[in-house]
Chains A and B, each alone.
Chain A
Amino acid sequence: MTMVIQSDIHEIPIIQMKGVSKIYGRGAAAMQALKGIDICIRQGEFVAVMGPSGSGKSTCMNILGCLDTPSEGVFLLHGADIGGLSRDQRALIRRHYIGFVFQGFNLLNRTSALENVELPLIYRGTPLRERRRRAMRALTAVGLNGWETHTPGELSGGQQQRVAIARAIVTDPKVILADEPTGNLDSERSREVMDLLTAFNREQGITIVMVTHEPDMAAYAGRRIIFKDGHIDATRPEGCSA
């Protein structure tokens, strides 16, 4: 990717939410998880999402990850409205623009690290040779060179999360959505994971949105979005309006 295009990308925020609400259920049982939030995140930012459980941050992450759609309001990913897209269209957006890192790692059991990292490329239709090469490169980037044949069961928690990060970056995504990536790790492993995420954010300009409960982890981010009762309290970067 050339610098020219990257500077173009900076003109349009990667993530824009305008008055997004999410309502679960109907009638008296209806529950409003998000109450008209506005979010703007620029390409290359590292944002920490915080807040108590039930505050709406998971719902917001699902919408950001194109796994769910807003009930009201507009969600623009790199300027494109996601709201009206079909299930399969959203799957294609995920396939090409988004990488996921989960708290529980979510690797395929009894499947080698290399094959786990290859998985998103299979759905992209990348040929085998190219797939192997890129997966190996991603595993090397997370420091797991030599571990490619190990299955998740044979890896430590920190190593599993690094495999998950390799799987997230192997497609060169625009955004990585990390849902408490250090939630299951001790502080030493947590630091390794955060160093990796920070490196990918700085060196490859990948936008990172990370949910965390720990202020130590949030400190790695450039800014914080704090959820409370379906509303947010966020600082907004310059020139980025929702």
Chain B
Amino acid sequence: MLWETIILAQRAIRRNVLRSTLTILGIVIGVAAVIILVTLGNGATAQVTSEISKLGSNLLQVRPGQGFRGPGGTRSNAPNFSMDDAAAIAKEIEGLAAVAPSATQGTQAIFGSQNWSTSVTGTDNNYLLTRDWPMAGGRTFTSGEIKSGKAVCLIGATVQKELFGAQDPMGAAIRLKNITCEIIGVLAAKGQAAFGMDQDDIILVPIRMLHRRMAGNTEVNAIMVSARNGYSTEKVQKDIERLMRERRGITKGKEDDFMVRDMKEVMAALTGTTRVLTALLGAVAAVSLLVGGIGIMNIMLVSVTERTREIGIRLAIGALEKNVLMQFLVEAVVLSCFGGLIGILLGLAAASASAEALRVPFILNWGIVLIAFLFSAAVGIIFGYFPARKAARLDPIEALRHE
């Protein structure tokens, strides 16, 4: 009987193709919008997660506080760290896999006629460990090079591309400011930019070389720390905070003038934000589903009025109220489900196209597809019920007289 009703419904829908199409348009758009937004949102979340994990697992960054309020409320940067601070962390904190002091300067890198504006980071081999960064070719620094501050460097994939193109950079000499620096290795590409910053746009040199020949001081901008597997990053973070307060002479009750950032926390905060955003956009899109539902109710009411005589005939020859109710309800549900299916297909197509355009991964979430479909079916039931009940309660005598 239900199957018969469905056949009947699709026949009634096909009888008025244009109107049925316009009726389901609201549902189609609503479902498509939900699918697109949620799929892209999930893609963005996944991308943020993967980018942060690219920074290095178990990575903690120790940086001086920025925008720290000095006396009189003026903005000034907190003092940088020293090499001793990094050594103290390595010596006194338990559970560390690697500690790398780093100092960074923006500079021009020149090779032949090629000229590229990039940043030079002075550090040691531990930097690669903390950042979980493999080499694409060549070798890392020798301990002799680190100690003496020899003018050798490792270059990132972007620098390689900009300065050398397809040429082999190994052993070539590039100029940083007025220092000639030999390339001994190339870093593996980290891939896409994180937070708008290209991680591969980097040159690594021994920190002693940067201090002596480029910076003229021995300051450390940031200390990269990675916790050993199995050690809680929260505990390491607390220990470092305590140690640094002590070393920087911060008395009790005063705020830190530095920060220890746990990348896991950053990741949680960022993915949390994109998730909330996705949910919000999805909810806005869902409102259009509601509007689509009202459209269906509207057309079903018109349809009931138009088909009053048909309803009268059916009631006269023995249809029960529930038979007529089901007929119109099923018609509304078939309409809305059909709209939902089209919306899902359109939404997935549009989502995959725009994921490509926006360079976020396309993540097919069957859960949201199912929810969108069930939601459109529910819209059909909810908004189809009132017109269907109106049809079922018609007086057959009146209905048969209706012109």
Q: Which residues of A contact B (CB under 8 A)?
A: 62, 65, 67-68, 87-88, 91-92, 94-96, 100, 102, 106-110, 119-120, 122-125, 167
- Could you list 5 further interchain pairs (A-B, Cβ under 8 angstroms) beyond the known A94-B318, A119-B313? A65-B316, A95-B318, A96-B318, A106-B309, A123-B314
* B318 with A92: CB separation less than 8 A: yes
* A68 with B397: CB separation less than 8 A: yes
Q: With A110-B15, A119-B314 known to touch, is A91 a contact of B319 (CB < 8 Å)?
A: yes
Interface string of B227-266 (1 = CB under 8 A from A): 0000000000000000000000000000000000000000
A65 and B397 alpha carbons, distance in the complex (Å): 10
The tally of residues in B whose CB lies under 8 Å from a CB in A reads: 20
The residue that A94 contacts in the complex, of B310, B317, B323, B397, with Cβ under 8 A, is B317
A124 and B320 alpha carbons, distance in the complex (Å): 11
* B320 with A119: CB separation less than 8 A: no
List of B residues within 8 angstroms of A95 by Cβ: 317-319
* A88 with B320: CB separation less than 8 A: yes
List of B residues within 8 angstroms of A65 by Cβ: 316
Rounded to whole Å, the gap between the CB of A150 and the closest CB of chain B is 17
List of B residues within 8 angstroms of A108 by Cβ: 310, 313
The residue that B397 contacts in the complex, of A62, A88, A107, with Cβ under 8 A, is A62
A65 and B319 alpha carbons, distance in the complex (Å): 14
Q: Is B4 an interface residue (CB 8 A)?
A: yes
* B313 with A91: CB separation less than 8 A: no
A110 and B11 alpha carbons, distance in the complex (Å): 10
Q: Is B400 an interface residue (CB 8 A)?
A: yes
A96 and B317 alpha carbons, distance in the complex (Å): 9
Rounded to whole Å, the gap between the CB of B18 and the closest CB of chain A is 15
The B interface, classified by DSSP as helix, strand, loop or mixed, is helix
B 289-305 contacts with A by CB, 8 A: none
> Which residue of chain B is the closest to A105 with respect to CB atoms?
B313
Number of residue pairs A-B, CB distance < 8 angstroms? 52
List of B residues within 8 angstroms of A88 by Cβ: 320-322
What 9 A-B pairs come out closest when comparing CB atoms?
A95-B318, A120-B317, A94-B318, A123-B318, A88-B320, A106-B313, A91-B320, A67-B397, A123-B319
> Which residue of chain B is the closest to A59 with respect to CB atoms?
B397
A91 and B400 alpha carbons, distance in the complex (Å): 15
* A100 with B15: CB separation less than 8 A: no
A92 and B316 alpha carbons, distance in the complex (Å): 10
> Which residue of chain A is the closest to B322 with respect to CB atoms?
A88
Count chain A CB atoms within 10 A of each CB in B1, B309, B315, B318 and give the residue with the most: B318
Rounded to whole Å, the gap between the CB of A23 and the closest CB of chain B is 15
Q: Is B380 an interface residue (CB 8 A)?
A: no
List of B residues within 8 angstroms of A110 by Cβ: 15
B 194-228 contacts with A by CB, 8 A: none
Rounded to whole Å, the gap between the CB of A94 and the closest CB of chain B is 5
Rounded to whole Å, the gap between the CB of A71 and the closest CB of chain B is 15
List of A residues within 8 angstroms of B313 by Cβ: 106-108, 119
Q: With A106-B400, A122-B4 known to touch, is A67 a contact of B316 (CB < 8 Å)?
A: yes
A106 and B403 alpha carbons, distance in the complex (Å): 11
List of A residues within 8 angstroms of B15 by Cβ: 110
A-B contact pairs, 28 of them (CB 8 A): A67-B396, A87-B321, A88-B322, A91-B318, A91-B319, A91-B320, A91-B321, A94-B316, A94-B317, A95-B318, A96-B318, A106-B312, A106-B313, A107-B313, A108-B310, A108-B313, A109-B310, A119-B313, A119-B314, A119-B317, A122-B4, A123-B314, A123-B317, A123-B319, A123-B320, A123-B323, A124-B318, A125-B1
